[in-house]
Amino acid sequence: MGTAYTPGLKVTPWATIRKTRRLPLKGEVTVRVGDPVEPETVVARTELPGIMRTVRVAEMLGIEPSDLERVVKVAVGDEVARGTVIAETKSFFGLLKNECKSPIDGTVELMSPISGHVGIRYRPTPVEVKAYIKGKVTEVISGEGVVVETAGALVQGIFGVGGERLGEIKLVASGPDEVAQEERITEDLAGKVIVCGSNITGDALRRAAEVGVAGVVVGGIIDRDLISYLGHDIGVAITGQEDIPTTVIVTEGFGVMRMADRTFELLRSLEGHQASMNGATQIRAGVIRPEIIVPAAGERRRAKSLDDQSLDLGTKIRVIREPHFGLLGKVTALPPEPVLIESGSKVRILEAELENGTKVSVPRANVEIIQE
């Protein structure tokens, strides 16, 4: 038995899935261990403090900084609205007034007789963390968040963009090799997670966003179509924070790429079920895969642990480096001794037969396990 050094791509009808839902800073956890939760259940909340806005009162009123306390009309801790008079000077027996008003809604946080400035902090922004999946709370992280556990189907993609979405799965392709055209994207798909085949055209993707499709799952995508949809080039850092209306998950790679039969058939079997999906992707250290999760869908089956990274004869794999990038196959041999490759390094390899019938030898670090 060998070892794979890259995370496997999981495509399974039944797995135990745990999601840590954590606040960006300390706050209040609103659920307890054992509580059932829905995807929209708020499990924790906090407030992000606003930024400080400096008002140069002394300069604006033409006074010495040391005179600040004499002219201010508010105190530290006071709530102020935009346009509230925070300082005022009078001249000519009170007939003329010069006012300094708050430029924002916020809270007075500091006054400095040295600089003559008043600091007003924007009002805090409420932040709520939702459960994301239907399941049960198995752990509470005090003041930070929770761990939610569920059992069901899990499909991971190779790349994605867009954040967390929730919607009913709907097929718009009759087979894994069909290209989704614009005319297939109708208004009744609003709020749905649509499953395409080998590709979705740029026009169809824009149409999906226009009608309010929650998410798109597709085998492959043309990079220029994705760039056009995003409005910018694709970076190498983590994705998932893009300001786009429709999350996109690619299961096979870039180009027109037939969706793996087992992936398509699993998604077909889940049509009509509510799915949670997230396009967040990170391919460097701390790998994050885009995912579609359907809790408690279908008959429970025995599945490998999601942490099982072992290679064996017959293991299904995907090549993740050129010249065979994105191709699927099965392991046919696991030579035990390191082999000298073109780069001059000695590495452990595997031999595999790809789905197109080609037999190849590739470094074990250049493949990922497809768990079923």
- Contact between 38 and 134 under an 8 Å Cβ cutoff? The reply is yes
What residues contact 178, with CB distance under 8 A and at least 6 apart?
Answer: 196, 197, 198
Written as one string, the DSSP assignment of 269-320 is HTTTSEEEEE---B-SSS-B--EEEEET-S-------TT--EE-TT-EEEE-
> Does domain 52-122 match CATH 2.120.10.30?
no
Share of the chain above pLDDT 70, in %: 91
CATH 2.30.30.30 fits 310-371, yes or no: yes
| Confidence category of residue 2, pLDDT binned at 50, 70, 90 | very low
Sign of CA dihedral 159, 161, 163, 166: negative
Q: Is the pLDDT of residue 309 over 90?
A: no
Measured CA to CA, the distance from residue 198 to residue 247 in angstroms comes to 17
Write down the domain spans for the chain: 10-16+147-295, 52-122, 310-371
Quote the pLDDT of residue 9: 77
User: At 187, is the pLDDT very low, low, confident or very high (cuts 50, 70, 90)?
Assistant: very high
Question: Mean pLDDT across the stretch 348-363?
Answer: 88
Question: Given this model, what pLDDT does residue 253 score?
Answer: 86
Residue 152 in this model has a pLDDT that exceeds 50: yes
Beta bridge partners of 187: none
Sequence-distant (6+) residues with CB within 8 A of 65 are: 58, 112, 113, 114, 115, 116
Q: Which fold has domain 10-16+147-295?
A: Glucose Oxidase; domain 1 (3.50.30)
Supply the mean pLDDT for the chain: 89
Q: Is the pLDDT of residue 307 over 50?
A: no
Q: Is beta strand 215-221 parallel, antiparallel or unpaired with respect to 192-195?
A: parallel
Asked whether the predicted pLDDT for residue 252 surpasses 80, the reply is yes
Band (297; pLDDT cuts 50, 70, 90): low
pLDDT at 88: 94
Q: Are the C-beta atoms of residues 221 and 201 closer than 8 Å to each other?
A: no
Q: State mean pLDDT over 282-298.
A: 81
pLDDT at 50: 94
pLDDT tens-digit series, residues 209-242: 999 999 999 999 999 999 999 998 877 668 998 9
The band of 262, judged by pLDDT with boundaries at 50, 70 and 90, is: confident
Tell me: pLDDT of 103 over 60.
yes
The alpha carbon of 318 is separated from its chain's Cα centroid by a whole number of angstroms, namely 23
Average the pLDDT over 258-268 and give the result.
Answer: 91
What is the rounded radius of gyration, in angstroms, for the C-alpha atoms of the chain?
28
26 token code pair: 């300390």
Q: Residue 326 pLDDT more than 80?
A: no
